[in-house]
A = this chain, B = another copy of it.
Amino acid sequence: MTETPIFPRVGIIGIGLIGSSLARAMQLGRLAGEITIFDASAEARAAAQELDLGQVHDRLGDAIADADLVIVAVPIGAYAALGPQLARGLKPGAILSDVGSVKQAVVRDLGPHVPEGVHFIPGHPIAGTEHSGPRAGFAELFKGRWAILTPVPGTDSAATERLKALWERMGSMVEIMEPSHHDQVLAITSHLPHLIAYTIVDTATQLETSTQSEVIKFSASGFRDFTRIAASDPTMWRDIFLNNREAVLEILGRFTEDLTALQRAIRWGEGDKLFETFTRTREVRRGIIDAKQA
């Protein structure tokens, strides 16, 4: 019954929602011989210890020494400072990967620090919740969800295959993609939806207090779904918008044009235009149901 783990030793940097879910999924599937953990937060480290997610270290260097795979799972804004520390500690032949929600900025911030002989394969699981921290993680988070890998040109394909196998054993489907393409696709599927949800909930918070309490009372009529999205971690999302600026601004421009057209149709009572648009959008839902991502 004892299968060989895919990696003898995996280091996880950042043991929040995603990092702790990785630890649990690898434990459940016996995918790592050993899991070593570092987090900048003493509280997170203590929780990781208590939850028995792996061997918790107080220094990043100790968590990555001798690791065959290191996965960075911290907010994007923290990557730049990690670069030099990772450079010092990674062993030749190791794989350096991550789970960050944008990919060009990761290549920009970590790429220059990757030592000779280390395989740099950034990644991003399309899975998450609005909760944060080590207690929010669960082993099934990645099951049935996509994981995107964006290996830099010239990456050893055997290393990519090995990382792909890890994600697949955690239940994910894996797609290989260019970092720039990743950032474009995610700008529409994730970053713009979050920006809009944050905006509409913020618009509501600026209403007079009496109306605000009614907004909460009657939120079941649509608003509620936006508040869940707009409850996502502020640090994570600030970093995403600051680090995927161009793609977000580009898709936001298109969205604003389309919204202006609908606004105009409402103002001028153009029912046919509204009906046409609302019929077209229905099809997309069917596509998602057919693709089993609903």
Give the docked Cα–Cα distance between A248 and B218 (Å). Answer: 16
| B293 and A224 within 8 A (CB) | yes
> 8 Å CB contacts to B: which residues of A242-256?
242, 245, 248-249, 251-252, 254-256
Query: Does A146 sit within 8 A of B, measured CB to CB?
Result: yes
Distance of A248 from chain B, by nearest CB (Å): 6
A193: chain B residues at CB < 8 Å are: 200, 221-223, 225-226
Q: Which of A184, A277, A286 has the most CB of B within 10 A?
A: A277
> Please, which residue of chain B has its CB at the minimum distance from the CB of A201?
B281
Contacts known (A226-B193, A245-B266, A288-B224); A215 close to B278, Cβ less than 8 A: no
Contacts known (A263-B249, A269-B245); A281 close to B205, Cβ less than 8 A: yes
Give the docked Cα–Cα distance between A201 and B189 (Å). Answer: 10
Distance of A139 from chain B, by nearest CB (Å): 17
Majority DSSP secondary structure for residues of A touching B: helix
Known: A146-B218, A196-B259, A224-B288. 19 other contacts (CB 8 A): A189-B215, A193-B221, A193-B223, A195-B262, A196-B196, A198-B277, A198-B281, A201-B285, A202-B280, A203-B258, A205-B284, A206-B254, A237-B274, A238-B271, A238-B278, A241-B274, A242-B266, A249-B263, A256-B259
Residues of A within 8 A of B (CB): 77, 126-128, 130, 145-146, 148, 175, 184-186, 188-207, 211, 214-232, 234-235, 237-239, 241-242, 245, 248-249, 251-252, 254-256, 258-259, 262-263, 266-267, 269, 271, 274-275, 277-288, 291, 293-294
Sample 17 A-B pairs with CB under 8 A, ordered by A number.
Answer: A126-B221, A127-B220, A185-B215, A188-B211, A188-B223, A189-B219, A193-B200, A196-B259, A198-B277, A216-B293, A231-B282, A234-B282, A238-B275, A241-B274, A242-B271, A245-B266, A252-B259
